Amino acid sequence: MADNSEVLARDGDKGDMARFFATWVRHPIAMGAVAPSSRAYCRMMVEKATTELDGPVLELGPGLGAVTRALLEKGVDPARITSIEYDRDFADALKTRFREVNVIQGDGFDLDKTLKDQGATRFAAILFAIPIVSMAQEKRQALFRQYFKRLLPGGNLTQLSYMWSPPVRPVEGVFTVDSSDIVWNNIPPARVWIYDQDRRGTDRANEGNA
């Protein structure tokens, strides 16, 4: 784990509430929340993400960097983190705030286009905070299937969402879904949703070979 005290010392979240709210007024669907997630909620997100695996870490929808900060506080090396943010002003702010993080202004729904890597990069963990409530369930599942192709073995996808039931239903043989305890210290209180690779297909095949 990295000592990120110097990187974090440069960060300041003064004015983030007002800035976040002003952006929500202009783009309520893309923002999905009126305020940044609380520190407790971001810490829970990072605790549940498989950042202990070797490999790059992908953050989707970082906003003004509440989860990015929690990743750095946990000691994740900033050079491992790629953060994709659609809002140009937010992306610029993140680039100034976290210079060692690979911040990309672009569409987190289309990784091939945004990462320009023809699907080559695999991640130890994907931390997802883009609002998807307006998306049909089948589309959400199709999106997550794509994300799971980008995970290293054992890696997971964690999601910030205020929904009380799984925002994306499991897809057999691809991913399962679970949740953290409710984090009450957030407006509104919410859980972290945890999607793990569904090993059942592989396990059954291995049993057949035994």
Ligand X SMILES: C[S@@+](CC[C@H](N)C(=O)[O-])C[C@H]1O[C@@H](n2cnc3c(N)ncnc32)[C@H](O)[C@@H]1O
Tell me the site size for ligand X, rule CB under 6 A.
Answer: 24
77 near ligand X, rule: CB under 6 A: no
CB closer to ligand X, 20 vs 148: 20
CB closer to ligand X, 86 vs 144: 86
Instruction: Tell me how far, at minimum, the Cβ of 1 lies from ligand X, in Å.
Output: 22
192 near ligand X, rule: CB under 6 A: no
Among 56, 61, 155, 166, binds ligand X (CB under 6 A): 61
User: Sheet harboring 151-161: ordered strands across?
Assistant: 102-105, 81-85, 57-60, 123-128, 151-161, 191-197, 175-179
Among 7, 49, 58, 66, binds ligand X (CB under 6 A): 66
CB closer to ligand X, 24 vs 170: 24
Instruction: Tell me how far, at minimum, the Cβ of 25 lies from ligand X, in Å.
Output: 13
| Structure-token pair, residue 111 | 């990784």
Among 2, 8, 11, 30, binds ligand X (CB under 6 A): 30
- For residue 186, CA distances in Å to 9, 66, 116, 181 come to 24, 12, 35, 13
Nearest alpha carbon to residue 151 among 47, 48, 51, 63 = 51
Nearest alpha carbon to residue 55 among 195, 174, 142, 153 = 153
Q: Enumerate residues 87-146 that contact ligand X by CB under 6 A.
A: 87, 90, 107-109, 129-131
Instruction: Tell me how far, at minimum, the Cβ of 145 lies from ligand X, in Å.
Output: 17
86 near ligand X, rule: CB under 6 A: yes
Instruction: Tell me how far, at minimum, the Cβ of 13 lies from ligand X, in Å.
Output: 10
Contact status, residue 76 vs residue 12, Cβ threshold 8 Å: no
168 near ligand X, rule: CB under 6 A: no
Contact status, residue 34 vs residue 24, Cβ threshold 8 Å: yes
Q: Of the listed pieces 6-14, 62-70, 165-173, 178-186, which binds ligand X according to CB under 6 A?
A: 62-70
Amino acid at 86: Y
* Contact positions vs ligand X (CB under 6 A): 30-33, 36-37, 60-63, 66-67, 84-87, 90, 107-109, 129-131, 160
